[in-house]
Chains A and B, each alone.
Chain A
Amino acid sequence: MTTPSTMSLAVARVRDRRRATGFARRTADRLGVVGCIAATILLVIALAAAFAPLVAPYDPDYPDLLASLSGPSPAHLLGTDALGRDILSRLIWGSRITLAGPGLVIVIATVVGTLLALLAAWRGGRTDTAVAWVLDILFAVPGIVFALIAVAIWGPSLATVVGGLAIAYVPYVARVVRGASLRERRMPYVSAAWLQGQSGTGITFTQILPNVQPIVVAQAVSSLGFAVIELAAVSFLGLGVQPPTADLGLMVKSGFDSVLRGHPAEAIAAGTLIVLIVWCVTVIGDRLTSSARSMR
């Protein structure tokens, strides 16, 4: 007979009660105070980016060459860049790609990685070995190299870079999800489903996947931070998003030239926003990871 200690039971009971309340409350509990702050900031940035046409004060691409490199003023809150474009408007529009690009990378990597991991965990044996092999090889190559190879083949564009990075992120998701799935696979409830005569696919998607889902989400969000940085880096190198499209990585690059001329506003603004986005994503990812762990 194994009795969990009374205290953990009591605490668990209280946690259950909390779990029973709504989705918002549950999420807030998982994120904690700092996580909630990070989520709020990220939500504001995302909303601003989503409604950029409504929110941005100027057309991000409209050059006002007479007002180039002007400092912050009531007309241009963060000043203008070398071509006289409003920096704030470009930040808002740039956030679109800076969020959507890595978002797409992670969505693709998560779907592919999770499917691979579930397949490997359920089939085991040779399938598992083969998947582990592929993952190890992918692991050995830095993400940015994939992006560069993709660019070398298909030429510089956002789509190419996103595709390349997506492949690079598959093993990060797959490794974590495979480990978690193998753990779940050994649980009696999975044996019970097997004994009921449920099919392998059925067990994988109705039994195992719902139980590893918190880990999948946590890993995806954690990887998102890295993807933001890497995509910005590729843009900075001029291989991703092409000018004149507004993108934070590109803004750091074009602002970089102005820094030497004594006008750091653009580089600082774009750099700060990247850091802020990455910080938010990382904090949320950390919180989700630790709460996913504590559930087991």
Chain B
Amino acid sequence: MAERSDPGTPATPIVDVVDERLGRQSWYQRLMVRPDSGALAGVVLVFLFFTFAAGDTGMFASDGILSWMTVTAQLMIIGSGAALLMIGGEFDLSVGSMIGFSGMMIAIPTIYFDVPIGVSVVLAFVVAMAIGALNGYIIVRTRLPSFIVTLASLYILRGLTIALSILFTNRTIVSGLKEYSDDSFVASLFSAKLFPGFFQWLADNGIILKLPNGAPAVPGIPMLIVWAFALAVVGHVVLTRTRIGNWIFASGGDANAARNVGVPVSAVKISLFMATAFCATVFAACQVFEFGSAAADRGLLKEFEAIIAAVIGGCLLTGGYGSVIGACLGALIFGVVQQGILFAGAPSDWFQVFLGAMLLIAVLFNSSIRRRVTGER
């Protein structure tokens, strides 16, 4: 517990000297009230653990790193959105369904209706964000818990995805997007691998593994990872450095108090739902263009993974507190553990046990942080 001034002492005169008590809060105390400190400790712990448990299995070779970074990046994309929304005091359980839906929105018009691929992608983003806005509007308007409203959209969207893809294509996996997306700028925006020359050079010089056919084991940095970092940086800057960020904190902390001082709470919440829909669509686009197909069951349960990343990253379920960086660290823990458990040769059945335990620890840690922050005991 940080020391606190005695409120009964008479007012100190207004003198502009450096407060001598300012230095007393040690770096340790400052670290302990940051929302993402728990996740940071978790990252260190997890890396230490797998260095011992799976250090010699190829987990930290170039293609091993790519393997867990890919999982991490995927989760960073939806985790950043989920964190912002959670800080704004709401949930979105429809993220997973939205991934399946947006994927179909990109694939079906392109393959079956000869819509140019760029138009399909833009259309997918517009429709997804409109659905996000609708989610937000219903929640703001009815004041129903977002848990219930987005649970409904989870089912509606998943059902729509299956029903519409059966209706238009008579199948639930729409393949063959590759012929339409090859050489298209939009496709490379989501699925290109950057710096292939550099990675070839690395392989030629024996820095990373070279495959028997001469190609490097890691052909480049996937756009998925670029998107993940870009979204994380934008999310972090918006949250901590803009007035919109302050509104997000305020809307989640106490919507009434925020409204009383003129924060446009409704607009903030609706925009946040649009942001999570945007993130889900980025996720979908990266997946669709990487695999060249869309499926109605894509993104199953991803909404929970996003929420888990945000919670491990220090977001409070009650809103008003958290960080995007924390959510990204949560995603990293998730990715490293999920793939690391496979590298360590443990049965993957244990992954969920481990995940659950970690979630519990994160929540305990978070509630202790909240007590520190607010000074309640």
A binds B: no
